Homo-oligomer: A and B are copies of this chain.
């Protein structure tokens, strides 16, 4: 990373920077979908762009972007590259995790260093995988065990890790340098979609952690405000889904304009005049817009709740959680529909292997399984019927 590149440029908006980054990512997205592995060059591009500090307050060296802007940038990246969109989206989630679960004396220096050094944060937090144990030896903690689904941990500068405290049997979360002794990040992520998220497994062997590296005040979901963390996580996902679906739609539009052929019984001379091509695109457009509009609304709701800080009430948090769950359900439905049906507009030749246009569906199919949509629907039904907001957990 070139340290001379300014973090925050008053002459260029985050979306303008993202536009440049997206163009660069697009050039190699197809090849990298094939190869999988760590998107090292692309991660460095993000480091250089300064966008890793997008959500960090200006007084700590960042851009100070509000959530709607943060998500717009995440979506722009995901539109050309679902995997990089994912790890980039998680950067902001992990920073928010520090902000929500720890004390200012902890997160402020981390934020400043992130802005200054363009730290990329990685995830080793999966709370459903409880194989990592924390033991105390006087002042020093030691973490041992395995952790799965560690998105973006490889090539990260800092890690957010979770473990079960063997004394209290509670989940604790900490932040440590990725380079700390005893951490092995495996290059074993090989799903059929989101292939460069490095969401593989890691091993912790006698990894030292200090008390000041633990996020214990207020701790995981430790206050109503802190319980916004899963809301942010879910909305990152929804925006990645919308971004990927927009990418699929872009592909459909471009391909049809450039290569589309009318069916021999259509009676028209161009695919763009075919009544069925137009109708299908109109349906997919509407699907996509429904997801986008709800996701945009949810970002505004999150920002409002975020601004409330510790004054945030359960009702306000609940309304935000519902808006986000709604957006996530719709972006799941719309995304899969668009990514699968868009081929009906393009026709058989669009399935050529080298274009890898199936990657949009593969990316969405993999990522939308993060947590089951049926349980999201159950939450929404309970809200609609009983007025009960989703009970805060790491997934709602």
The complex places the Cα of A191 from the Cα of B357 at a distance, in Å, of 10
A358→B351 contact, CB < 8 A: no
The complex places the Cα of A351 from the Cα of B149 at a distance, in Å, of 13
The complex places the Cα of A294 from the Cα of B296 at a distance, in Å, of 11
Select one of B275, B281, B378 contacting A282, CB under 8 A. Answer: B378
Determine if A216 is an interface residue (Cβ-Cβ < 8 Å): no
Q: Which residues 224-283 in A have Cβ within 8 Å of B in the complex?
A: 249, 253, 256-257, 263-266, 272, 275-283
User: Given A192-B351, A351-B191, A377-B279, do A369 and B383 touch, yes or no (CB 8 Å)?
Assistant: no
The complex places the Cα of A128 from the Cα of B263 at a distance, in Å, of 10
Contacts of A357 in B (CB 8 A): 192
The complex places the Cα of A291 from the Cα of B265 at a distance, in Å, of 26
Interface residues of chain A: helix, strand, loop or mixed (majority): helix
B285→A294 contact, CB < 8 A: no
What are the interface flags for A311-343 relative to B under an 8 Å C-beta threshold, 1 for contact and 0 otherwise?
Answer: 000000000000000100110010010001001
A249→B384 contact, CB < 8 A: yes
The complex places the Cα of A367 from the Cα of B265 at a distance, in Å, of 20
Contacts of A281 in B (CB 8 A): 380-381, 384-385
User: Given A326-B286, A366-B348, do A279 and B378 touch, yes or no (CB 8 Å)?
Assistant: yes
Instruction: Determine the residue in chain B with the shortest Cβ distance to A194.
Output: B351
Contacts of A385 in B (CB 8 A): 253, 256-257, 272, 277-278, 281
Contacts of A263 in B (CB 8 A): 371-372, 375
The complex places the Cα of A286 from the Cα of B332 at a distance, in Å, of 11
Contacts of A379 in B (CB 8 A): 282
B290→A381 contact, CB < 8 A: no
The oligomer's copy count stands at: 4
Select one of B190, B264, B329 contacting A286, CB under 8 A. Answer: B329
Contacts of A343 in B (CB 8 A): 365, 369
A384→B253 contact, CB < 8 A: yes
The complex places the Cα of A348 from the Cα of B343 at a distance, in Å, of 24
Q: Which residues 158-180 in A have Cβ within 8 Å of B in the complex?
A: none
What is the distance, in angstroms, from A239's C-beta to the closest C-beta of chain B? 15
The complex places the Cα of A329 from the Cα of B378 at a distance, in Å, of 22
Determine if A69 is an interface residue (Cβ-Cβ < 8 Å): no
User: Given A361-B340, A361-B361, A380-B285, do A276 and B372 touch, yes or no (CB 8 Å)?
Assistant: yes
Determine if A207 is an interface residue (Cβ-Cβ < 8 Å): no
Q: Which residues 343-392 in A have Cβ within 8 Å of B in the complex?
A: 343-344, 347-348, 350-354, 356-358, 361-362, 365-366, 369-386
Determine if A293 is an interface residue (Cβ-Cβ < 8 Å): yes
Determine if A213 is an interface residue (Cβ-Cβ < 8 Å): no
What is the distance, in angstroms, from A95's C-beta to the closest C-beta of chain B? 25
Determine if A157 is an interface residue (Cβ-Cβ < 8 Å): no
A365→B377 contact, CB < 8 A: no
Determine if A103 is an interface residue (Cβ-Cβ < 8 Å): no
Determine if A193 is an interface residue (Cβ-Cβ < 8 Å): yes
Instruction: Determine the residue in chain B with the shortest Cβ distance to A267.
Output: B275
Determine if A155 is an interface residue (Cβ-Cβ < 8 Å): no
The complex places the Cα of A385 from the Cα of B330 at a distance, in Å, of 23
Q: Which residues 289-314 in A have Cβ within 8 Å of B in the complex?
A: 289-291, 293-294, 297
Determine if A393 is an interface residue (Cβ-Cβ < 8 Å): yes
Contacts of A256 in B (CB 8 A): 385
B266→A375 contact, CB < 8 A: yes
What is the distance, in angstroms, from A126's C-beta to the closest C-beta of chain B? 11
6 shortest interchain CB distances as A-B pairs: A282-B377, A278-B381, A282-B380, A281-B381, A276-B374, A190-B353
Where the two chains meet, the residues of A that have a C-beta atom closer than 8 Å to any C-beta of B are 36, 128, 190-193, 195, 249, 253, 256-257, 263-266, 272, 275-286, 289-291, 293-294, 297, 326, 329-330, 333, 336, 340, 343-344, 347-348, 350-354, 356-358, 361-362, 365-366, 369-386, 393
